[in-house]
Amino acid sequence: MSEKSINGTVRNLLFLTVAMFGFGYALVPLYNVFCEVTGLNGKTGQISVENAAKTETDKNRTVSVDFDTNIRDMPWEFKAIEHKVVVHPGELGEATFIVHNTSDREIIGRAIPSVAPTVASVYFNKTECFCFTEQVLAAGETREMKVRFVIDTKIPDRFSTLTLSYTFFAIPGQEGIAKKQEDELKTRI
């Protein structure tokens, strides 16, 4: 092989490597947009309280929303106070959940939501949710958390029951972070 041919091959391989890295880097945002548009993976929408208040309520229909709670590899207890609510599309709905850290240390967790059937998730919009932020619970702490939501009035009639499911995961390596930050703040004052 000639040196020119080898240089061309190296240049092509470098370009291919950079293109593959760029594609891999872009996959997450592209996947999130795809899920938001199609409702794939049960991702829900988000709506402001102001826009939710402007929504017309369809009093001729009701949708039952069942709540499913799960914990993944962490010492917390997590449950919905009510396992089901019935709302009219366009009406602001609310559910309260209780979470309890059964361990002897602070743990930071994050709730990942999903809606079933997944194709109906594009009609489920939250105005407030504990899943928007990481939750820091001290050892033995119990907390009430709310989710407020609106079901879009454009939801097809075939969807009379939805399931909103949450799974809490521990944020690895984050134990005691809030306590350390609080202690640092106290030493600065």
Cα dihedral sign for 115, 120, 121, 123? Answer: negative
CA–CA separation, 163 and 154 (whole Å): 18
What's the structural domain count of the chain?
A: 2
Model's pTM, two decimal places?
0.67
Per-residue pLDDT at 185 exceeds 70: no
The CATH number covering residue 100 comes to 2.60.370.10
Residues 85 and 168 in one domain: yes
Give the number of other Cβ atoms within 10 Å of residue 16's Cβ. Answer: 10
Q: Which domain holds residue 104?
A: 42-173
> Residue 40's pLDDT band (boundaries 50, 70, 90)?
very low
Give the number of other Cβ atoms within 10 Å of residue 30's Cβ. Answer: 11
Collect all residues with Cβ–Cβ distance below 8 Å to 72 and sequence separation of at least 6: 167, 168, 169, 170
Residues 24 and 77 in one domain: no
Residue 184 lies in a domain: no
> Residue 43's pLDDT band (boundaries 50, 70, 90)?
low
Residues 95 and 24 in one domain: no
Note the pLDDT of residue 157: 94
Residues 125 and 149 in one domain: yes
